[in-house]
Structure 1
Amino acid sequence: MFEVRSLHSGYGNIPILKGLDLTIADTEFVSIYGHNGMGKTTLLRALIGLLPVNSGKHRFPRPRYHQGSGIYSRKTWHRLCSAGQGDHAGALGA
């Protein structure tokens, strides 16, 4: 299960996420959508550590690695996690 509780994050003195709560069960698929400037990228950056979290907490299970080149392979997982840094063309790979 993936959980976010009372997450607060933003850029400098500008708060973007204010008390976000989110729970996603292991069997659920979720998409994040909204208009420009609604906090989608801020949420993802805060969750993977590219932005500081001012308060709140999040918890998610470690990925399960499988042999091969599927989406859950160790190589692909590292490529996905580093997609916000440098050239990430083809981050999903084959």
Structure 2
Amino acid sequence: MIKGYMYIVKCSDGSYYTGSTKDLEKRLIQHNNGTGAKYTARRLPVEICYYEEYSRIDEAFYREKQIQGWSRKKKEALMRGENELLPELAKKIFVKRNE
């Protein structure tokens, strides 16, 4: 039995919101009613782009916090299933200083 979900929704302004929940359908309704999160309430409507299922909610929450720190490009690669790109997208980009 699934007890937790990590999810990514796309907001009306094109931004992404990452969250976790025990009930994915109910949470999407809450977001679109404006009661899900302050961030999504100002960017309605939202739609589910991606989710992962977990046997425990704390595992979903841990994954949510991990993905929240990712760049937009890395999140989009995950959503497209391009897992081979994730390590490269995780590398920091260093700006070369003028010498």
Normalising by structure 2, what TM-score? 0.25
Whichever structure has more helix as a proportion of its residues is: 2
Please say which structure displays the higher CA radius of gyration: 2
Whichever structure has more strand as a proportion of its residues is: 1
